[in-house]
A = this chain, B = another copy of it.
Amino acid sequence: MPTYADIISIGDELLYGQTLDTNAHWISGRMDEIGIKVKRRITVADDESEILKAFQESEDRSDIVLITGGLGPTKDDLTKPLLARYFNVSCILNESALADVTEFFKKAGRELTEANRQQAELPANCTKITNRMGTAPGMWFDERNTIFVSMPGVPYEMKTMMDEIILPRLKQKFVGGVIHHRIIKTIGIAESTLADKIADWEAALPPHMKLAYLPSPGQVKLRITTMGNDKDSLRAETNQQVERVLPLIEQYVYGYDNDEIESVIGQKLIQNEKTLAIAESCTGGYLSHMVTSIPGSSAYFKGSLVSYANEIKEGMLGVDSQTLEQHGAVSEEVVLQMAKNIRAQFNTEVGLAISGIAGPDGGTEEKPVGTVWIAYSDSQKTTAKKFNFSKSRVLNIKLSALSALNMFRIHFFSN
C-alpha cells in the first residue's frame, strides 16, 4: 500500500491565470523521488468555505496534505486561521517562531512590524517550521493519522523549507517501498506508429510495471514506472525490458531520462572533437537558439548565418545565383550548397542547413506552406531531405529545427 499525498495550492492569483503554479509541480517531483504517490493536486481560491472543504477532502483521501500559499501578513491570507478552525484550536504566540522572525528582521536590518509579530502566532497544535528565507513560518500538524504541512507560496521560501526540514521528516516517517522510473526518448516517429511497433512488448509487461506515452511536437517519450521494495532489482528488471524493446525502435531513440536531443548532439561533438556551423533560413535563428541553449555549447558551436533574404544567401553564403533562380530558395540544390558553404566559411567539420516555407504566406501549389528542405554536410557526405510539416508557422519552425538535429544524429552518429 503506497503512501498518498495531496497538494493544495491556495490563491486567487492562480485561478485568475495571473501566476503559474510551479510549486505544485516542483513538490510533485520531490514526492516522486522519495516514492510517495501524489494522488491529487487541488487549486482553490482565497475563500474560507472552499479552503475548508479542500482540507477535509484531502484528509479523507491521502496520508499527507501539503499546502502552499495564503500565509502572508495581509487580510486575504486565510490559511493559518482556517487550519486553527479546522483543528478546533486557537492561535497562540509561538516563542520559537517569534525568535525566528525577530532574527530574520535583524539580519535584514529592518524593523519588526505588528503585522510581522502576529505571524508568530500559530495554531496551538502545530509544530513550527523555520522559514529561513522569509517571515511566514511553516506549520506541521500530526492529527487523526494525517500529516498536514502548511508552507508559504513564495517558491524559494517553500523549496528551502521543503528540502531542509519537511522532506527528511516525511522520508523518515513514510518511506517503505521505492519507485523506479526510466524514460526512453524518441524522435521522428508518431505516437500511434510507435505504439503499433511495441504493442506486443507492451502487452507482455508485468502488472507492476506501467508504461506511459509522453508526446510533444516531433518527439515521444516512453516512461516505464516500477514499484517495489528494492531499488536495485527494480532497476535491473527495468533495464531488461528496455533491452527487449530497444531493437524494435532503436533508430528513433536518441537518449534516456534527462537527455535532450540538443545536449546529446553536443556531447557527441565534444567526444569527437568536431565543430558545427549552421545556415538557417525559415527557422530564423531557432535552430541556433536550440543548440546554444545548452551550457558549454561554445566548445563545439562556432556560429551561424541566418540568411533570411536571398541576397544574403548569395552574398554572405555564396549560394550560386543561377541555382537560386532556377530552383528557388526552397530546393534540394540550394540547401545542399548552404550546408556545404557554411561548413567551409566557418571552418567547421559539420554544417547543417534549413530552407523552407514557414508560412502563413509564401506557399505555392508546388511548394505549399510547411515544405522544408534540410541538409547535413561533413567531409564524407552532403545529403538533403524534404519534409512536409504543418500550416502553423510556430510548429513549422520547431519541427524544422528538431528534424535538423535528428538528421545530424542519424548521419553524424553513423560515421
Contact = CB atoms under 8 A, between A and B. Distances in A.
Interface string A178-194: 00010000000011110
A311 interface: yes
A345 B154 CA distance: 40
A41 B16 contact: no
Given A13-B214, A288-B284, A306-B303, A42 B45 contact: no
Contacts of A135: 192
B18 A295 contact: no
Interface string A373-403: 0000000000000001010111101000000
Contact of A38 (B15, B285, B307): B15
Interface stretch (A27-35, A137-145, A242-250, A266-274): A27-35
Interface stretch (A67-75, A85-93, A233-241, A333-341): A67-75
Nearest to A285: B288
A121 interface: no
A213 B74 contact: yes
A345 B312 CA distance: 9
Residue among A214, A296, A297 with the highest chain B CB neighbour number at 10 A: A214
Given A14-B28, A73-B191, A394-B156, A346 B312 contact: yes
Interface in A121-136: 133, 135
B312 A302 contact: yes
Contacts of A212: 12-13, 16, 18, 46, 76
Interface in A244-302: 278, 280, 283-289, 291-293, 295-298, 301-302
A349 interface: no
B284 A286 contact: no
A115 interface: yes
A397 B293 contact: yes
B292 A303 contact: no
A158 B93 CA distance: 49
Nearest to A33: B17
A19 interface: yes
Interface residues of A, number: 108
A358 to B, nearest CB: 8
A196 B295 contact: no
Interface string A56-77: 0000000000000000111110
Residue among A212, A223, A295, A297 with the highest chain B CB neighbour number at 10 A: A212
A39 interface: yes
A58 B138 CA distance: 30
Contact of A40 (B16, B17, B44, B309): B44
Nearest to A37: B15
Contact of A16 (B29, B316, B360): B29
A306 B278 CA distance: 9
A305 B308 contact: no
A3 interface: no
Can you list the 5 inter-chain pairs with the closest CB atoms, starting with the nearest? A284-B292, A17-B29, A285-B288, A17-B28, A285-B285
28 contacts: A14-B28, A15-B32, A15-B39, A16-B28, A16-B29, A16-B181, A17-B30, A19-B214, A20-B22, A41-B41, A41-B42, A72-B213, A74-B213, A76-B213, A109-B388, A113-B193, A114-B196, A154-B217, A156-B217, A284-B288, A284-B293, A285-B291, A286-B292, A289-B289, A293-B397, A295-B361, A302-B308, A303-B306
